Amino acid sequence: MSDPHDSSPLPPGGQPLPKRIPTARYTSREWQELEHERLWPSVWQIACTEDCVQAPGDYWEYQVAGVSILVIRGDDGKLRAFQNACPHRGNTLLEGSGQGLREIRCGYHHWCFNLQGGLRSMSPTGDRALTASQRSEGPAAIGLVPVRLGTWGGFVFVNPSPEGEPLSDFLEEIPDELAWVGMERFSCSQFMTVPIACNWKAAVDAFIETYHLHAVHPQMLAIADDVHTPITLYDKHTKFVQPYGVPSPRRSDGVPDQELWEAFVLNLGHRMGIPFADVATPGPHPPIPDGKTLRDVLIKRIREHLATTGSSYDGIDDHHVIDDFHYHIFPNSVLNVFAGWFGLIRARPGATPDQCLLDMWNFDLHPADAPEAHTRPEQVTLAQEELPALGPVMLQDLELLPSVQRGLRQPGLHNFQLTSAETRLARMHQILDRYLEPPPGLALV
């Protein structure tokens, strides 16, 4: 079978993509320290959603690579972000998330800050520790350290660096391309986090290529074309678009309509309004009108369900109704976008190169007046015995990743080889080099 990925575009600027990646980027402390020093403190990343901080006094802590950032809705209604440290002696101010905050009080010496980050008061005699110039400038001069913040699509982005490009430039064409979705109208009721014994990049890798589908997710070959998935490379980010409702060309034996129907209901039945409790009993496939295919029937059923959510997407074509628009937002977020539903996967580094935290958020479109619309999400960490509830596809990936990490640590494997189907992985490492400027032993060749 010929490889359609052979025609994948060159990155902007025409720089050839690497074919080999040093395994030390996934296993060495030296590389991890470079990321901690030069990547995470310097790049835009998704911290939470706007629904997490809807009301004045709502706050949400985002942690990555030792960096802790507080996202706070001020009593003036504005969103702000601060480094989660008291400027007096560095004590962590808040942990996790909460509501009804009226002030930010340090638990070490009771210095108190308002929700705009300004110093409101100190403990008795605390002002004696200030210099004369600090006293003359007033309490506002000793406020919390601000962090740059921006929003798009209902997400809150933060960047610890005070310098660099604005969020609108960082996101490039993505907001315009996804304007048809109306992502800010969607709701997520629960943020799920799973600890995984692998490097954060190994987790991202598993979700930005379709090459593993036939080996790890063979059940998906009945409903998704894993071969004809055109790839787009932006300056920092990447995309593929995967056709759904058609079998993979790898299924040369042919896929009966009933098998396609059952596989679609099992994996994506919620897109047609089928409750999760009913996907195991899909029944016979609906009648297929003359001159139509089962893909056409699926599209019709999806449109009918979308109409019940308050938006029928009448203005978009069938391709946008059923297919998967899949974005990697550098460095650590993956958006899996369908009409009426999308998911976000975010990987964060763990304490060692062999650990990461995988955050999973599912977003549904509800009528604006529905009780479940724009509720404040609950944040939970899933135990191993709870993982099967995520579904077979996600479970298959999560079970595989520790095995990948163990293999990358074998002493005779200094590089791993990429195929043309893994263009997005290669591009991610090019952009990592731009931020990290690694030494020769870790640089791409």
Span 57-87, pLDDT tens digits? 999 999 999 999 999 999 999 999 999 999 9
Place of tokens 């025609």: 7
Coil, strand or helix: which one is 168?
A: helix
Reported as a pLDDT band with limits 50, 70 and 90, residue 125 is low
Secondary structure letter of residue 139 according to DSSP: G
Task: Please write the tens of the pLDDT for every residue from 237-251.
Answer: 999 999 999 999 999
Straight-line distance from the first to the last Cα atom of the chain, in angstroms, rounded to the nearest whole number: 29
- Whether 4 shows a pLDDT value over 50: the answer reads no
**Domains of the chain with bracketed CATH:** 4-41+174-436 (3.90.380.10), 45-167 (2.102.10.10)
Longest dimension (CA), the chain: 86
Cα separation, 233 vs 17, in Å, equals 11
Task: Please write the tens of the pLDDT for every residue from 213-234.
Answer: 999 999 999 999 999 999 999 9
Task: Please write the tens of the pLDDT for every residue from 128-185.
Answer: 555 555 544 544 568 999 999 999 999 999 999 999 999 999 999 999 999 999 999 9
Average pLDDT of the chain? 92
pLDDT of res. 131: 54
Reported as a pLDDT band with limits 50, 70 and 90, residue 309 is confident
Secondary structure letter of residue 427 according to DSSP: H
Cα separation, 169 vs 163, in Å, equals 13
The residues near 248 (Cβ < 8 Å, ≥ 6 apart) are: 213, 214, 220, 221, 222, 224, 225, 226, 227
Task: Please write the tens of the pLDDT for every residue from 290-302.
Answer: 999 999 999 999 9
pLDDT of res. 314: 85
pLDDT of res. 13: 67
pLDDT of res. 3: 46
pLDDT of res. 124: 60
Coil, strand or helix: which one is 4?
A: helix
The region that residue 125 occupies, defined by phi over 0 for left and psi between -120 and 50 for alpha, beta otherwise, is left
pLDDT of res. 329: 98
The residues near 319 (Cβ < 8 Å, ≥ 6 apart) are: none
Give the number of C-alpha atoms closer than 13 A to the C-alpha of residue 182, restricted to the C-beta side: 18
Cα separation, 208 vs 195, in Å, equals 19
Residue predicted with more confidence, 401 or 13: 401
Cα separation, 120 vs 142, in Å, equals 10
pLDDT of res. 134: 54
How far is the CA of 209 from the CAs of 42, 201, 227, 334, 418, in angstroms? 26, 13, 10, 11, 11
- Whether 311 shows a pLDDT value over 90: the answer reads no
**Helix or strand run (H / E) with residue 238:** strand 238-242
